[in-house]
Each structure stands twice: as structure tokens, then as C-alpha cells.
Amino acid sequence: MLDRRDVPLGPLTTLRLGGPARRLVTTFDEPSLVEVVRDADARGEPLLVLGGGSNVVLPDAGFDGTVVRVCLHGLQATTQGDRVRLSAAAGEDWEAFVAMCVAERLVGVEALSGIPGLVGASPVQNIGAYGQDVSQTIRSVRAYDRRAGAVVELPAADCGFGYRHSAFKVDPGRWVVLAVTFELGVGGLSAPVGYAELARALDVPLGASAPLADVRDAVLSLRRGKGMVLDAADRDTRSAGSFFTNPLLSPDQAVALQARVAERCGADVEAPGWVGDDGRLKVSAAWLIERSGFGKGHFDGPVGISSKHTLALVNRGGGTTDALLGVAREVRDGVRAAFGVDLVAEPVLVDAVL
């Protein structure tokens, strides 16, 4: 492992924001990672586990403690009939992992192409896009339980998966993900396409399958059009992805929202949404933001809303975390004032609240 002092953290994140770590330890194997975490916990030292830096907002002042960077690599596969169980170390690059699965005709993560970050972060956020989420294929998660001081293997049923939600997210100080085991199908065709925009791009009916490579290419094209594929030359990709999750509303909250929409936008307008199995309405956060007066490219200055996607807050260059959070608060408060809906931040906000 590598142990350094006073290392800038901004370059290790997709937002390129954040001050220095008092101590940065880069770990390349599971025993070293567990050792660093145990040592920090024994000394009562603040600890931050950092992966790909794609879903985190770090403070301008930096982190006054130990930051442990996860660089664990390795893949193991076993075949069981027409299924493959594929275990990936937490430090594997997610996009490279998906590309490999598609190339090897492994089915179940193709619609998650282009998402930045590492495999270890995928169960924490239950990453999802274009009708797929990672919990659909996760078999188990290997993690270090800081509370018990032990490495455990958690079956998917114990991971508390929900929309952008997991047991790891509920109790972030407890778990350090070490590896994830996926159960994937084998074949040339994708899982059923469950997202209308993707189905249109593929020119297939909703619920149909398509060649794996075609699904991956279509998803990457859609994401590029929204600035959601990292590109060093494009400042609109310098973000933490979607900054807000789509609100989940109870039936009563949905009725109240529609009343506000009718009052503000007209009686014939409805907020786009989808009713889930639990009866709650998932409403488009992007639509609420735009209809509250915050369009693409809104806010002058170093930080603001992407010119390609309303949900992405970007650092155009020379920004600060404080300024970014100020923009986020203004957007959140504007949506609340316009529609009575509270937006929830999707990235991990280190030492900060909205």
C-alpha cells in the first residue's frame, strides 16, 4: 500500500472538488484495506473510504483524518448451467466491468454502461439506469463490518436494496465493500428492455430484448447526449452524475403535487411519473427542476446546471464545493416552493448537509 500526507482529493473525484487529505492510504489488496480501516477505528481517527470519486462531494477544507483509497482488483467466475457467477473486487472499474460482460455475452448489466465509478460502489447506491439496476443481478456482497470487526458475506436479500438505496447507504460508517458477486445470464440478447427511451433508441417494443452490443451502444449514446459519460474535454461531464434522486410520493402526496402542477402549469399538464409496486409515484426530478425555473445551463459562474442535463450540477472550472452546495440548495428550495416536493441529494455529502 501507499501512504502519503497532505494529498489533494479533488483530482480523485469526477467533480474535481475537495481539499487535501491529511493522510491518504492507497490499498491494493483486501488484507491491507481491512488493516487500515481497523487501525483507524482503533485509534478513533476519522476515516473516509474513497473509490472512484464519482458519487461524492468533498469539502473545500479537505478531510482531517485518513482517506483510504480502494484499488482492489480481480475477477473470479463459476458456471452453473446457463448462469455465470462472477465475483469482482471492489476496485474494479465499473464501466470496464460492463464492457467485459457484454464482450463475453454475459447478460444483466448492459443497460448500466457508461456509469463512472467502481464495482464496490455499485451496491451501496444500488446504481441504476434505463430500466435496470444492479440489485437485479447481485448475488452477494463481501464486506468488512466495522461494528463487528469481521469480514462477512451478505446475500442480496440482506442488502436492503431499493430505489438508489441499500443497507450500506443507510449505515455508511459500518460497511466497507470488498467484492461483489453477480449472477448473470449467458447469451447474445439483452435482458428485456424496461425503459421507453432506450426501447425507442433501439427501435424495439418495450419489454423486448436486443443484441447486447446494440443495447450498450444505445445507452452510451444516450448518456453522452446528456453529458453523463466522462470526457476530459467536456466540462459538462465534470459532475457527480444526477445530483438529486427522483422523488417517491405517497398517493396523497401525488394528489397534492398534481394540484400544484395544475395551478402552476395548467390543468391539462401532469408531472411525468411512474407508479411502483409499492403504490408510490416516482416523479421526474428533472421535470420538477425545469418547471421550477432552473433550465439546462442555469447559473452563471464556475458551478451550475449542465447544459445537457438538468439533474447534473457541474464544476465548469475553478469552482468550490461551497458554491456547488449553494446551487443545490437554491434548486432544492425552488422546487419545494413551486411544487411542495423535497428533493434528496444522490451523492454522498462528506461533512456537509443540504
Catalytic positions are: 164, 242, 346
- Tell me phi and psi for residue 38, to 5 degrees: -60, -40
- Tell me phi and psi for residue 108, to 5 degrees: 140, -15
Q: Which residues contact 341 (CB under 8 A, 6 or more apart)?
A: 247, 249, 253, 257, 283, 288, 335
Place of cell 464495482: 119
CA–CA dist 49, 177 (Å, integer): 10
CB 65 within 8 A of CB 93: no
Give the DSSP per-residue string, 132-187. EEGGGTEEEEEEEETTTTEEEEEEGGGS--BTTB-HHHHSTTTEEEEEEEEEEEES
Question: Which has the closest alpha carbon to 100: 110, 115, 111, 90?
Answer: 110
Give the CA angle between residues 107, 96, 24 to the nearest 5°. 135
CA–CA dist 252, 198 (Å, integer): 31
Residue 41 CA: distances (Å) to CA of 67, 147, 333, 348:
12, 10, 37, 21
Strand ranges of the sheet holding 273-275, from the earlier edge strand across to the other edge: 248-249, 281-283, 273-275
- Tell me phi and psi for residue 83, to 5 degrees: -125, 155
Which cell numbers hold the place of 301? 459562474
